[in-house]
């Protein structure tokens, strides 16, 4: 499982404050602690309160690149903010994200090509969040088709079924999980799949257990990557153990130690 740390997000008050005060040390601390805990990449989101996201995202990218060469995941619904971040990114980069709307695809797919970036495609459109598996698949197929038209390989595309909180969309959880499997058989070569894991437990109690259980289930449906809290040690242990059981790592008795990333 490709693990993307979710903690550098302005929605967290301490990150929002650090962005506002240009507090480099706090941002670098959260970058390094997530990597130490096993993150392969870092999601970077200025959050809803940023007054100047075009410049804030550049500051975040530059500050984080001073301390790590890991992949950066530029997270914004605004293509101008993504483009601004891309201009200063030297590390490998993933664009997070486009929707299935043609207007966004026609802007972001060429941008991904130009910057040699991977791209996350959310199965959402101007009509809103899909309510079932068929609607998710239809949007996924639209994204894959547009990428093919523009010459962007599905291997560089991550499809995201949009995980909803279990306390508001309980009846959809199974559809969301099954979508992950069906996305993989839309094209050959397959697109990759990704989720924002913590969405599932928003507003619930016992969040860690809900996150961990959903992650394990999604792993079986073929999930390739997840945006999650890598400082949740039991979650990271479940990620490693899922990889073991799905034969992505060779068994040994001390597999947790062996596969905990440095
Ligand atoms: N898909 C993709 N990108 C995404 C998401 C997704 N990026 C953003 C988000 N979803 C993933 N990141 C988070 C980060 C934090 C939380 C959820 C998802 C979270 N935050 C606490 C909350 O809202 O309750 C904040 C609590 C606090 O302030 O401490 O749960 O789905 N492609």
Q: Are 2 and 37 in contact (CB under 8 A)?
A: no
- Predicted pLDDT of residue 261: 74
CATH topology of domain 92-231: TIM Barrel (3.20.20)
CA of 189 to the centre of ligand 1 (A): 30
Could you tell me which residues come within 8 angstroms of residue 86 by beta carbon, excluding any fewer than 6 positions away?
74, 93, 95, 111, 115, 117
The string of pLDDT tens digits covering residues 151-173 is: 999 999 999 999 999 999 999 99
Protein residue with its CA nearest to atom 25 in ligand 1: 12
CA distance 138 to 56: 35
What's this model's pTM, rounded to 2 decimal places? 0.97
- Predicted pLDDT of residue 262: 55
Task: Out of 57, 198, 201, 223, give the residue to mutate to test ligand 1, the one with the largest number of ligand atoms within 8 Å of its CB.
Answer: 198
Measured from the Cα of 194, ligand 1's closest atom is 32
Protein residue with its CA nearest to atom 27 in ligand 1: 12
CA distance 152 to 209: 37
CA of 136 to the centre of ligand 1 (A): 20
Q: Are 220 and 244 in contact (CB under 8 A)?
A: no
CA distance 211 to 193: 17
pLDDT higher than threshold 90 for residue 23: yes
Q: Which residues make up the CATH 3.20.20.20 domain(s) of the chain?
A: 92-231
């Amino acid at each position: 499982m490709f693990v993307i740390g979710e903690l550098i997000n302005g929605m967290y008050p301490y990150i929002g404050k650090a962005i506002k005060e240009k507090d480099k040390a706090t941002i670098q601390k959260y970058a390094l602690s997530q990597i130490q805990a096993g993150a392969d990449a870092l999601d970077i989101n200025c959050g809803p309160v940023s007054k100047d996201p075009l410049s804030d995202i550049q500051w975040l990218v530059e500050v984080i690149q001073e301390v790590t060469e890991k992949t950066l995941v530029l997270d914004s619904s605004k293509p101008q903010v993504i483009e601004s971040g891309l201009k200063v990114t030297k590390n490998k980069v993933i664009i997070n994200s486009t929707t299935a709307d043609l207007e966004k695809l026609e802007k972001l797919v060429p941008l991904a090509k130009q910057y040699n970036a991977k791209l996350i495609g959310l199965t959402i459109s101007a009509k809103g969040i899909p309510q079932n598996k068929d609607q998710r698949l239809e949007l996924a197929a639209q994204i894959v088709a547009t990428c093919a038209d523009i010459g962007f390989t599905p291997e560089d595309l991550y499809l995201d079924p949009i995980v909803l909180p279990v306390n508001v969309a309980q009846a959809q959880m199974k559809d969301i999980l099954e979508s992950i499997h069906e996305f993989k058989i839309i094209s050959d070569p397959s697109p990759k799949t990704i989720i924002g894991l913590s969405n599932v437990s928003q507003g619930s109690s016992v969040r860690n257990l809900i996150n961990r259980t959903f992650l394990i289930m999604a792993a079986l449906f073929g999930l390739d990557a997840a945006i999650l809290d890598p400082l949740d040690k039991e979650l990271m242990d479940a990620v490693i153990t899922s990889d073991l059981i799905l034969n992505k790592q060779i068994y040994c008795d001390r597999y947790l130690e062996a596969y905990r990333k440095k």
